[in-house]
Structure 1
Amino acid sequence: MFAVGLWAVVLLVVAADEDCSLLVVNSTMGHRMYTKDGFCAPEPGNNGTTLRDNVLDFEGTKGATLYSVHFTPKWYDFPPGQPIRKDCVTSNGTRLTFRVGRWLSEDVRNEFMSGARKSSILKSDAEKLGDQIPEKLNFAFEGLATFRFRRGAGFEKREVKLRFAQGHIGRNAYNWWMGSTPSICHIEKEKELVCGELGFGDLGFLPHPQYGIHPNNHRFKVYPRPID
């Protein structure tokens, strides 16, 4: 019996070493909270914390002009003691703004990665898609994302359940993560993240006059699939 148990442990360690995302697939260590009618429970935050407007932009590509994006959060996670607004996610044209404080947390990372794999998420500043998972995250949201594209004389609408999260890569510089579970999103040909009938890529950080990168403003490319 002891030998069987030992081999089981060895096999588990080997499997986890081959795919680090397995370590957090079933994690529930965060303090996930659910929205009511798309609104978060407002928190003023502890003394010394700051409410931030965390901006994420999208741009249409491959012949599709993105007209608008809307995101209705279903659940969210952020470190206790940080502030958050009731209207925690707002939409303005092709921009989403997440109104919540910033503080890196492994527990938030675990919630973002719960049920996901590194092959079902996209990192904004990755050199190669599908090869990393976040170490810590400031906050994470999951909900229904709606994209409207202007194509020709009409519009196309695509909806999919997505997760968005923010990390940190240096002085006043924040990268973004997005994706979902493998049943919804997957990396295709190491070039883009495919989620339902949408394809996503990244355009890199926008210029910042002092640091060379914008401290908190990222943009992802998106287009409706299949392409005619």
Structure 2
Amino acid sequence: MIDCLVREKDRDYCYQQVGNRSDSNVYIGAKIRKAAEIGAEGRLVKLPDTLTQSELEEEIAKLNADDDVDGIIVQLPLDCKNHIDADAVIDKIHPLKDVDGLTRENAGRLMRGELQRTIIPCTPNGCLYLVQKATAVVIDCGINVEPATEPGKKNKLYGDVDFEAAKEVAGYITPVPGGVGPMTVAMLIRNTFQQALHQAKNNLFRDFVCLLSFACS
């Protein structure tokens, strides 16, 4: 399914769906209803499940070239009988029309922290809004250092959240220090243990293969 926000007189939404997945139908229906709530008309165009990769990319190219289309979404998974490289299809979307933030260009900018030059994917962006309400759980992953102003004093550590203000309205909030930091150290030790197990299994398999080869020679 390809979704596109079409900029017309009434700001219509256009949905192009590949195949007929029941969960996609529910999702499209919900978006059409939400579009109607803001006075927009949702339009659905179904594409056959026999569509090829090149044909799907051609559909995206048409939307890229259409100045009335503001946003394009490739709904995954695709309901198609032919093998289609979904990542390659997504990368055919013009970065300025990629409203999911999944193209390599937009994802790369996000990884580099270029938030003004990219689009934040919908789910994490929505989570940022969800925490902006009373009783929300706040997990502060930031760590900043305020140098000591007097000899003999320790540097002060603090997070990215105004802890004193947030704790008055948050349901739960992690402190800095003493919150995410110790958890990160614990996860490092856990990951090291897991990797050691993986290596032990690989070494055991390697030794077994060597022993088997020796026995068969």
**TM-score (normalizing by structure 1):** 0.23
Q: Give the number of the structure whose residues are more often helix, by fraction.
A: 2
Q: Give the number of the structure whose residues are more often strand, by fraction.
A: 1
**TM-score (normalizing by structure 2):** 0.24
Structure exhibiting the larger radius of gyration computed from Cα positions: 2
Higher relative contact order (CA 8 A, sep 6+): 1
